[in-house]
């Protein structure tokens, strides 16, 4: 099973503010949906609460030590490792880690592939994605997605794979921007 991280961050690697995304970029949301559709997605409890619902077309695994009730169509795991084991036992071929910061920090050591939307600009974020050691990753794909609306930031979508991993080729399920 391929372990993938999917993330959108600004030029400071900011990923959120006050439990919310600090931007609304429809093209990035469409890409997120297309890539994760039909797969298991793993997230921390706070990320799940910020989304506020189970995302359709995906199997949601929430990493939490809390006894708080989750919706019946949501799976619970006590750790990231147990979440990944659960996805693999259920026949997953590519499991997506979707946040938040604590889960990303642990997952970066386990990930085979990174799907990164680098949002142009700096936002007033209070949560950040961990630094990526460029020596461990090779860029497989880069697309620039320009926004026609000045109120919506443009972004660069990159796919990175860990050196030494033999993975299935990256194919995007939807048309995405221009070659970088």
CA separation for the pair 118, 121 (Å, rounded): 9
Q: For the chain, what is the domain count?
A: 1
Entry pTM? 0.96
For every one of its 180 residues, what pLDDT tens digit does the chain have, with 9 covering 90 and above?
A: 999 999 999 999 999 999 999 999 999 999 999 999 999 999 999 999 999 999 999 999 999 998 888 999 999 999 999 999 999 999 999 999 999 999 999 999 999 999 999 999 999 999 999 999 999 999 999 999 999 899 999 999 999 999 999 898 888 988 888 888
CA separation for the pair 179, 144 (Å, rounded): 6
Contact 114, 137 (CB under 8 A): yes
- Count of C-beta atoms within a 10 Å radius of residue 87: 24
User: Nearest 5°: phi and psi at 105?
Assistant: -60, -40
Residue range(s) defining the domain that contains residue 33: 2-179
User: Largest Cα–Cα distance in the chain?
Assistant: 46
């Amino acid at each position: 099973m391929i372990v993938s991280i999917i993330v959108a961050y600004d030029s400071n690697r900011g990923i959120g503010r006050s439990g919310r995304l600090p931007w609304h970029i429809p093209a990035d949301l469409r890409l997120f949906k297309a890539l994760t559709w039909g797969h298991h997605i793993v997230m921390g409890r706070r990320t799940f609460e910020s989304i506020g619902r189970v995302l359709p077309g995906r199997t949601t695994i929430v990493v939490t030590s809390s006894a708080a009730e989750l919706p019946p169509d949501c799976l619970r795991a006590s750790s990231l490792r147990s979440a990944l084991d659960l996805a693999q036992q259920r026949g997953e071929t590519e499991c997506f880690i979707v946040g938040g910061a604590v889960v990303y920090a642990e997952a970066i050591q386990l990930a085979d592939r990174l799907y990164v939307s680098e949002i142009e600009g700096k936002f007033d974020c209070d949560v950040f994605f961990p630094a990526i050691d460029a020596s461990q990753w090779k860029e497989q794909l880069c697309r620039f997605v320009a926004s026609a609306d000045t109120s919506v930031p443009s972004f660069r979508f990159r796919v990175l794979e860990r050196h030494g991993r033999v993975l299935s080729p990256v194919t995007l399920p939807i048309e995405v921007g221009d070659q970088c």
